[in-house]
Structure 1
Amino acid sequence: MTDRKTTAAVATLVLVVLVALALRPPFTAIAPLLDRIQQDLGLSTTFGGMLTTLPVVCLGVFAFLAPKLRQRVGDEKVVVGCLIVLLTGNLLRAAGPVWALVGGTVVVGAGIAVANVALPGLIKRDFPSQVPMITAIYTVCLTLGGAVAASVVVPLGQALGSAWQLPLGALALPVLVALLISAFALRHASAARPEPISPGGLWRAPLAWQVTVFMGLQSMLAYVVFGWLPTIAQSRGMSPGLAGLLLGIQAAIQAAGSMTVPVLCRRLRDQRLIACGLAVLIATGFVVIVLGPAPAGIWIGTVVLGLAQGAAFGLALTLIGLRSPDSDTTAALSGMAQGTGYLIAGTGPLAVGLLHDLAGNWLAPLGLVLVVCAVLFCMGLLAGRRLQVESVVRAELTTVP
C-alpha cells in the first residue's frame, strides 16, 4: 500500500470511528428522558411511543437517498454532510416546543439513516480485504456510543439543572468534535468519483433480498429488546431500577458480541454457520428471559441476547460488504438492506405490544419472536453463502474465489 493510500485509509478509519460514536446517542438518550419530556410538554403515552418509533421509521425512509447522494458528491462529503444534519437536529430537539422535538427527531433520523448506508461503502472501498474487522470496529463504536449516552444523560441533566433540554442539546458536542476532526478525512479523501450506478437490478436479485431480510429481522428483534425488555423484567418481579440497568448492560455486552464476527469469519469458509448459530442463541435468550427462573434466568438470558444480538448486527453489516463485488454495489445494497430492513424492524415492537395486550401475557409475543428467529435462521442459510450479487456497475453474478 502506497503512502497516499495508507494516509487515505487512516483518514477513513478515523472518520468511521468518529461518526459511529455519534450515531446512536440521539436514539438511546430519549428513553431515559421520556417521562420528563411527557410531563413537561403534556404529551400522551401514545405520543411518547411515537417519539421512540419515529427514528426507526426515518432510518428506513431516508436510507434510500444515500446511494444517489454519494454518487453526486462522493463518500466523505456525504458522511460529513450527515454530521452537519445531525448537529442541526440535536440542537433543534433541545429548543423546547413539541414541533421542535418532533422536527429535530426527523432531521436526526435523516442524517443517521444516510450515514448508516454510506459508511459500509467507505469501508468496502478502502478496506476491501478487511471488511469484517473494520465493520466490527464500526459496530463496537456504535454500541458504545449509544450505551454511554443512555447511562449519562439523566445524571448530566441533574448536574446541569435541566430536565431534558440541555442533556439533549449536549449530544451535539460529540457531533461537533467529529465534524471538526473530519476535516482531516476530507483533505485526504479519495479522488476517485463513484461510478454511475443502476441499483434497480438489486431489487430483482434473490441474494440481495436475503441479505435485506436478514438485516431487517435481526434489527426487529433488537428493537423488541430495546422497547420491551425492561417491561418483561418488571412483570417477572424485577424492580424498575434494575430493569433499566438490565437494558444498559445488554447494550454494553453487544460491543463484545460484535467483536466475535471477524474472528469467526476468518475461521469459516462462509457465514452460514455463524448466522444460524446466532439465530438459535437469540431464540434461547428470549426463552430464558420469559420462561426461565427469575431473576437468574433474566440475567442469563440478557447476557446471551447481548452477545448474540451484537454479533448479529455486526454480521448483517458485514454481509452487505462481503456479498458485494465493489464499493458502489456495497452502497446500493446498503441502501436497500437498511432502508427496507429498518421499515421491517419498526413493526416488531408494535406487534409484540399488541399481542401482549390481546393475550395478557408474554407467551404469545414469545411465540412471534420464535417464528421470527426461525425465519432469521433460514435467511442466514441463504445470505451466508459465499456468493456476490450482481454489480451495479457491471452486470454479472460472481462466486468469491
Structure 2
Amino acid sequence: MAMTGERAERFAVGTLVLVVLVALALRPPVTAVAPVLDRILADLGLSTAFGGVLTTLPVVCLGVFAFVAPRLRQRFGDERVLVGCLVVLLIGNLLRAGGSVQALLGGTIVVGAGIAVANVALPGLIKRDFPSRVPGVTALYTMCLTLGGATAASAVVPLGRALGSEWRWPLGLLAVPVLLALLLTAFALRGTTTTQRAISPGKLWRDPLAWQVTVFMGLQSLMAYVVFGWLPTMAQSRGLSPESAGLVLGVQAAVQAVGSLTVPLLCRRFRDQRWVAVSVAVLTAAGFAGVLHAPGAAGIWAATVLLGLAQGASFGLALTLFGLRAPDSETTAALSGMAQGAGYLIAALGPLAIGLLHGATGGWAIPLALLVVCCAAEAAAGAGAGRARTVPSVVGS
C-alpha cells in the first residue's frame, strides 16, 4: 500500500535521524581502544600479542557477523534490526568496562556483532527511502561515522584522566551516547513498520560485478586498518614524537570526513565511478609513500592530509557503490552483506601482514611495496565496480 505524503515524509525524517544517530555510535567502540591499549595491557598484565588480538578481533567480527545481517533484515525489518544493534552496542560497551579479560573479549565480540549488522543494514535502508539520493545520504552517513570515531579517539585519554580511570570508565561511558541514540531513534520511528520480500542472496556470489565491489570494499578497508594500526609508528620512524604521531592519526581520521563529502560531487560529475575509484586508489598509494618518504615534517603532514582525503573518499565510494550497483533495497543489503563480510575478513589480514613484514625487515620499504600492490589491485577492482551496471536482484527465487 502506498504511503500518504505526510507518512512518507515522516519515514524519511525518521530514516535520517536513524542514519545519523547509528552512524555516530558505530566507530567509537573501535577507535577508543587504540589510545588506551597500552594501559589496558599493563593493567591486566597482558602481552602485546594479546593487544594484537584485541585490535584485530573487531575487524574479524565485522566480517563474520555481516553475513547474517541480510537475513535479520528480511525477518525483522530495517528499523527493528538497527534499534536492536543499538541495544547490542549498549550491552557490549558496558560489558567491556567490567575490568576482566573475559569481559573485555566478550564485550569486544558483542560490540563487533552490533557494528557488523548495522554496517550492512544501513545501505539497504538508504536505498529504500532515498533511491535517488544514495550518494548524498551515504556521504552524510560516512561523515558521521568518521566524526564519531575521531571524537572518541581524541577524548578517551583526557576523559580517563578526568575520571581517574585510565580505560574502564572511558570505555563504559561510550554506552551513554548509544543509550541516547537508542531513545531518540525509538521516538523518531514510533509507529513505523515495513515489510520485507523474500530474497536469494546466494546468486550474488556468482556475479563478477558483485565480486568487484567486494574486492574494492575489502582492499580500501585493509588500507584503513593499516592506518589505524601502523600510521603512528610510521610517523615516529620519520622522527616525530609520540604525541605528534598520535596527532597524525587524529588529523588523518578527521580529514576523512572531508573526503567522504566529495563522493556525491564526484558521482554527479561522472556517468559512472570508474575514474573516481582509480583516482582514490592512486592517491592512497601516494599518501602512504609521502608519509614514509616526503621530506621534512611538513611533507609528512601534507601526506597525512592527502591520505585522509583519499581514504575518506574511497570509504564513502565503497558504501555508495552498494546502492548504485543494486536495483532495489533488498539487493543493496545483500550486496552490502557480501562485500562487508568478505571485505572485512580481507581487511583483517592487512595490519598483521604489515607488522610481520616490518618486523622481519626492520624497515618500511617492503611493507610500502605491498601497500602499493594492494592499491593497484584496489584500482583494478574499482575500475570494474565503477561501471554503470547493476548486479542481479536477489528478490524472489
Sort the TM-score into its range (normalised by shorter chain).
Answer: over 0.9
SS of the equivalent of 1:387 reads coil
Tell me if 1:314 matches 2:323.
no
* Contact in 2 for aligned 1:211/1:383 (Cα 8 Å): yes
State the partner residue of 2:16.
13
**CA distance in 2 between partners of 1:108 and 1:289 (Å):** 32
* Alpha-carbon distance in 2 for matches of 1:166, 1:315: 35
Displacement of 1:25 after TM fit? 0.3
1:122 aligns with 2:120: no
Q: Secondary structure at the match of 1:128?
A: coil
Letter in 2 for 1:393: V
Match of 1:82 in 2: 85
What is the one-letter code of the residue matched to 2:240? Answer: M
Aligned to 1:256: 258
**After the TM superposition, which residues 167-182 of structure 1 pair with which residues of structure 2 at under 5 Å, given as runs?**
167-182=170-185
Report the equivalent of 1:26. 29
CA distance in 2, matches of 1:163, 1:231: 22
- How many angstroms apart in 2 are the aligned matches of 1:241 and 1:281? 26
Q: Cα distance, 1:49 vs. partner?
A: 1.3
> Could you say which residue in structure 1 is the equivalent of 2:243?
241
Counterparts of 1:217 and 1:24, CA distance in 2:
19
Name the amino acid aligned to 2:176: L
- Spell out the pairing of 1:43-122 with structure 2 (5 A cutoff): 43-122=46-125
Q: How far is the alpha carbon of 1:98 from its aligned partner? A: 0.5
Unpaired segments ≥5 residues, structure 2: none
Partner Cα separation in structure 1 for residue 341 and residue 21 of structure 2: 23
In structure 1, give the amino acid aligned to 2:39: R
In the alignment, is residue 268 of structure 1 matched against residue 270 of structure 2?
Answer: yes
Contact kept, 8 Å, 2:331 with 2:394, in 1: the verdict is yes
Residue 45 of structure 2: aligned partner: 42
Contact 1:218 1:376 in 2 (8 A): yes
Say if 1:394 and 1:388 are closer, same or farther in 2 by CA, change over 3 A: farther
Question: Quick check: 1:77–1:186 contact (8 Å CA) kept in 2?
Answer: no
Give the CA deviation at 1:161.
Answer: 1.0
| Alignment correspondent of 1:298 | 300
1:193 to 175, 186, 195: 195
Task: Kindly indicate whether the alpha-carbon contact (under 8 Å) linking 1:76 and 1:185 is maintained by their aligned counterparts in 2.
Answer: no
Shift of 1:124: 0.3
Distance 2:326 2:396 in 1: 12
> How does the TM-score come out when normalised to structure 2?
0.98
| 1: CA distance, partners of 2:197 / 2:226 | 38
Aligned pairs for 1:339-378 (under 5 A) are 339-378=341-380
Moved over 3 A (4+): none
| CA shift for structure 1 position 302 | 0.5
- Counterpart CA distance in 2 for 1:188 and 1:129 is 25
Q: CA deviation at 1:296?
A: 1.9
1:184 Cα deviation after fit: 2.5
Please give the root-mean-square deviation of Cα atoms over the aligned residues, in Å.
Answer: 1.0
Q: Residue 338 of structure 1 aligns to which amino acid in structure 2? A: Q
| Separation in structure 1 between the aligned mates of residue 225 and residue 314 of structure 2, nearest angstrom | 13
CA distance in 2, matches of 1:134, 1:184: 21
2:223 maps to 1:230: no
8 A Cα contact 1:8 1:188, kept in partner: no
Residue 41 of structure 1 deviates from its aligned partner by 0.3
1:279 is matched with which residue? 281
Q: Does 1:141 align with 2:144?
A: yes
Contact 1:59/1:342, CA 8 A, preserved across alignment = yes
CA contact (8 A) 2:198 2:396 kept: no
* CA distance in structure 1 between the aligned counterparts of 2:67 and 2:231, rounded to whole angstroms: 30
Residue type matched to 1:40 in 2?
D
Aligned-residue offset at 1:28:
0.4
Bigger Cα displacement from structure 2, 104-113 vs 264-273: 264-273
Question: Match of 1:398?
Answer: none
**CA drift at 1:393:** 1.1
- Aligned-pair identity (%): 71
Contact 1:21 1:145 in 2 (8 A): yes
Q: Is the 8 A contact 1:157 1:163 kept in 2?
A: yes
Asked if 1 retains the 8 angstrom alpha-carbon contact of 2:96 and 2:103, the reply is yes
Aligned-partner residue type, residue 87 of structure 2: I
> Does the CA contact (< 8 Å) of 2:197 and 2:396 recur in 1?
no
The answer to whether the 8 A contact 2:25-2:178 is kept is yes
**2:68 match: secondary structure:** helix
The offset of 1:360, in angstroms, is 1.5
Find the aligned partners of 2:344 and 2:126 in 1 and give their Cα distance. Answer: 21
- What is the DSSP-based 3-state SS (H/G/I as helix, E as strand, rest coil) of the residue aligned with 1:388? coil
Q: Is the 8 A contact 2:200 2:396 kept in 1?
A: no
Partner amino acid, structure 2, of 1:154? V
Partners of 1:185 and 1:378 in 2: how far apart? Answer: 42
* Distance (whole Å) between structure 2 residues aligned to residue 182 and residue 300 of structure 1: 39
CA distance in 1, matches of 2:139, 2:323: 12
Contact 1:221–1:348 (8 Å) recurs in 2: yes
1:269-305 deviations in Å (ceiling 9; x for gaps):
0101110111110111111111111312211110000
- Quick check: 352-361 or 10-19, which moved more? 352-361
Of 153, 156, 161 in structure 1, the residue corresponding to residue 159 of structure 2 is 156
Structure 1 partner of 2:325 = 323
User: In structure 1, what residue type is equivalent to 2:22?
Assistant: V
2:272, 2:113 → 1: CA distance?
Answer: 33
Q: Quick check: 1:7–1:188 contact (8 Å CA) kept in 2?
A: no
Q: SS where residue 259 of structure 1 aligns?
A: helix
Q: May I ask how many residue pairs the two structures share in their alignment?
A: 394
